[in-house]
Chains A and B, each alone.
Chain A
């Protein structure tokens, strides 16, 4: 059950990381798809601005992104104060870690989804419209199924990014064991204390294994979908 000899604290960090990354990915799916679709199919004023905003976390130092999140969603932040009254608190909570991971993974997710949406033949969407399908039905029955491999790839990328996110998370929600101490934070902490090397190595191995597993799963899914589309 525990071949690596993981300590309870290390287990906690792993489980927390999986939860943070899972929630961050799931919560980004719908907004990610919406933004990717807008960028892939629509021409509107402010399109370049939206594109830039989405990509910003990819370019900015993660610490800066984390600090901006703190300013916006901290307890006294622009939105944080209002959200706190509704009972939604991000600062120094695992939900804040999920928010930071979601923001950092968003550009990767949107890029992959947008590319696969752009690759869907718009003529098929036109054909669907002439057959009576409204815009939402066209998206759900034609665009999304055909773009699914790319959509999944985007989700896996975002998940992998979330598992590894460090800078923005630690800046925004600190490094509290059991609440905001994710795998990278735990590894960082272990490297800072004497005698922590063994624990850091164990968690590193876990981290590599999880990332590899995510990539393999996405590859398998994409291949199965590809076979379904190409089958005679």
Chain B
């Protein structure tokens, strides 16, 4: 499963010129509003036509302006979940779910994606006889995800599916998207401008800035970078693959262990042994030259400085190699000079437990090497 995208389009003063390839899994299109994310999604779905471009899904070309090829939206087999649920108001939830499936009759369901399984996965069994007008935002969005899945798509597009929802509803849907990513085997292109969502979900990240690709690559490498504009520098951080441990010092905390060592984070409701990925924002990491004593912060990881990169506003991003896992710390240039940080130097990274955003801790793909 691979997607190759090459698009160029001009609308008024807005210019889009985007080229990227995604290997499958969950690819996040990340950028602030107006960066062209939704336009890329509309072109992928076949709802907008670029001035010039090519879209190839596996070995099937969906768009090639040079050859005058434009497969219309309804023949692309690309499921789309929009910001708003866009359910058919004149149909019941059951009929909405059946809608796409009817047009896809004759094609088999993907493994584990028959109606019963999808309804169970999304927890919408009790809504089947309701009308969309009577659903809450979160319920509507779950039905919309189910409807897209049941149309038997080869690719799922999600255009900020959580944007219209409050934090509670987001917390309810994020795990569902993780399960989709890991269980359904359908590649997903996910649009977001929220770092916590992207950090939690993405395998691959494509950063868009003003209609261009500023960076693209594996999630952990992109998230660590601080050179992607001031907007991104403030949010740079590391992704750590860890496992939930059985024992914890208090009921409010969960102990995680991984290559880098052990971390205490606010309680997360996952069974011991579950693989998780943890986003550690660089602004929440302190560095010390000696093992700190008499400090309230619970998490101390030993490592060596791997590299230093200047950031905006007189700050510096320090990468710390903790036994093969890379952490990032954002310091002022003055602090870095005072510590005399150079690559290879042993340091201790200190992180407060409360720094962890519980929404930023997501299920990871099953870890093999921990």
Contact = CB atoms under 8 A, between A and B. Distances in A.
Interface of A: 121, 123-124, 126-135, 137-138, 141-142, 145-146, 228-232
A135 B103 CA distance: 13
Nearest to B144: A127
A146 B90 contact: yes
Nearest to B73: A129
A132 B47 contact: no
A126 B131 CA distance: 20
Given A129-B46, A132-B77, A123 B82 contact: yes
A129 B89 CA distance: 16
A33 B73 CA distance: 24
A228 B132 CA distance: 11
Contacts of A132: 74-75, 77, 100, 103-104, 151
Contacts of A133: 74, 99, 103
27 contacts: A121-B86, A123-B82, A123-B84, A124-B88, A126-B45, A126-B73, A126-B86, A127-B82, A129-B73, A130-B45, A130-B74, A130-B76, A130-B78, A130-B148, A131-B100, A131-B151, A132-B74, A132-B104, A133-B74, A133-B99, A133-B103, A135-B74, A142-B88, A229-B90, A231-B133, A232-B130, A232-B131
A171 to B, nearest CB: 43
Contacts of B47: 126, 129-130
B80 interface: yes
Interface residues of B, number: 29
Where chain A touches its partner, the secondary structure class is helix
A138 B45 CA distance: 16
Interface in B80-127: 80, 82, 84, 86, 88-90, 99-100, 103-104
B104 A129 contact: no
A145 B90 contact: yes
A44 to B, nearest CB: 17
A38 B148 CA distance: 29
8 closest Cβ pairs, A-B complex: A232-B134, A132-B103, A131-B100, A129-B73, A127-B86, A130-B80, A131-B151, A129-B74
Contacts of B74: 129-135, 137-138
B103 A131 contact: yes
Instruction: Count chain A CB atoms within 10 A of each CB in B74, B82, B100, B134 and give the residue with the most.
Output: B74
Contacts of A134: 72, 74
Nearest to A129: B73
A149 to B, nearest CB: 11
B363 interface: no
A229 B89 CA distance: 6
Contact of A131 (B133, B134, B147): B147
B131 A128 contact: no
A112 to B, nearest CB: 19
A134 B103 CA distance: 9
Contacts of A230: 89, 133
B79 interface: yes
B97 to A, nearest CB: 10
B86 A137 contact: no
A124 B47 CA distance: 12
Contacts of B133: 229-232
A130 B103 contact: no
Given A232-B130, A232-B133, A123 B86 contact: yes
